[in-house]
Structure 1
Amino acid sequence: MLNHTLVSIVDDNQPFRESLRKLVMLFGYNVESFPSAADFLASRLLPETDCLVADVHMPRMSGVELYRHLVDTGHAIPTILITAYPDEVARDQALKDGVVCYLSKPVDDDDLERCLRSALQAGTPNDDNS
């Protein structure tokens, strides 16, 4: 069975973005990656994205700002934030704001897969089986 779920990755670090893209593809998802929040926001794939994985620290628009912008504009995409600079206060605020997961680099494969499943379940209208 083909999985048509689209995971979009936004990270300004090209080698990390590419390795994350390959990892998420190994999990069986369709993946598109973008070097910046602006590129993702300008993409025709924005409305088709089922889950967003974004870096917290990026130039111009951070992952947190991207998530808030999406919510404010009616595109509440289940989001996983990833950071190389863990910060408990930022993490707690992001989770309170509705981000599904807040992971530290290097990302643990199992944690990422669990977060993707969680995010995609959160994004489905029929969420009766908790």
Structure 2
Amino acid sequence: MTNDFLIHIVDDEEPVRQSLSFLLAASGWRSRKYASAVEFLETVDDLEDACLITDLRMPEISGIDLLQRLRRDGNTLPVIVVTGHGDVLAAVEAMKAGASDFIEKPFSEEAMLATLTRVCSAAQEESQIRRVRQAAREKLESLSTRERQVLDGVVNGLPNKTIARNLGLSPRTVEVYRATIMTKMHAHSLAELVRMAVQGSEQ
């Protein structure tokens, strides 16, 4: 559920922080408020299942600077950048820096909630994809070098006899390797095995 996301609100204007926090609470979202990007960086510790709503123009560290710092640190949490200046160039800069979306003040409650739901849903899907890839990658890493060679042949659609000939093995030995690979990969079918092999190879 996207409502399980914790929404971090970074804005130097207290009325904005309070009204946004109230809107989110009324709509079933949890949130935390920060008066500056500095406060956010100094106090936040866990950014899993989280989303950041940050004002664009703030003293010390701007919303763009905050976004760039997070991305440099390898953090992929979704970020919605808010501005009251209608600055198209700033919008482009925010998107290039990795913002998930950009919204102008004053924004309607419906617009903010729709944007938040869309952004968090997309982040949730991407997180699930990363978990699936990581699980597949770990299973691939459990295979021996010879098992990986046999698996490569399987993924390329080669019959056992061809794989055996290419690797200097007997067809029976290849069958044994295939059975072991299926067990190690926790695959219940050839299609599932190939899918996991592809997922585990994706970056």
Other-structure match for 2:143:
none
Find the aligned partners of 1:120 and 1:27 in 2 and give their Cα distance.
14
1:86-107: per-residue Cα shift (whole Å, max 9, x none)? 1111112212332122111111
Q: 1:6 touches 1:49 (CA, 8 Å); kept in 2?
A: yes
2-side partners of 1:61 and 1:104: how far apart?
19
1:49 Cα deviation from its structure 2 partner: 5.7
* TM-score (norm. length: structure 1): 0.87
For residues 1-130 of structure 1, the aligned pairs below 5 Å read 3-48=3-48, 50-124=50-124, 125-126=127-128
RMSD: 1.8
Distance verdict in 2 for CA 1:41–1:49, change over 3 Å: farther
Q: Which amino acid aligns with 2:58?
A: M
Alpha-carbon contact 1:11-1:17 (below 8 Å) kept:
yes
Supply the distance in 2 between the matched residues of 1:44 and 1:87 (Cα, whole angstroms). Answer: 29
Asked whether the equivalents of residues 8 and 49 of structure 1 are also in contact (C-alpha less than 8 Å), the reply is: no
Gapped regions of structure 1 (runs ≥ 5)? none
Query: How many pairs are equivalent?
Result: 126
Write the letter of the residue equivalent to 1:25. Answer: A
Q: Which moved more, 1:112-121 or 1:96-105?
A: 96-105
- Which structure 2 segments of 5+ residues have no match? 130-203
SS at match of 2:95: helix
Residue by residue, what CA displacement relative to the aligned partner does 1:19-41 show, whole Å, maximum 9, x if unpaired?
Answer: 11111112211110000001111
| More strand per residue | 1
CA contact (8 A) 2:78 2:123 kept: yes
Q: Using the TM superposition, give the Cα deviation of residue 108 of structure 1 relative to its aligned residue in structure 2, in angstroms.
A: 1.4
* 2:6 partner amino acid: L
Structure richer in helix, relative to its length: 2
SS in 2 for 1:18: helix
Instruction: Could you list the structure 1 runs, at least 4 aligned residues long, displaced by more than 4 angstroms after superposition.
Output: none
Question: Secondary structure of the equivalent of 1:107?
Answer: coil
Taking a change above 3 Å as real, the CA distance of residues 72 and 30 of structure 1, as seen in their structure-2 partners, is same
Which structure has more RCO (C-alpha within 8 Å, separation ≥ 6)? 1
- Over the matched positions of the two proteins, sequence identity in percent amounts to 32
1:110 aligned partner, one-letter code: E
How far apart, CA to CA, are the structure 1 residues paired with 2:60 and 2:7?
Answer: 22
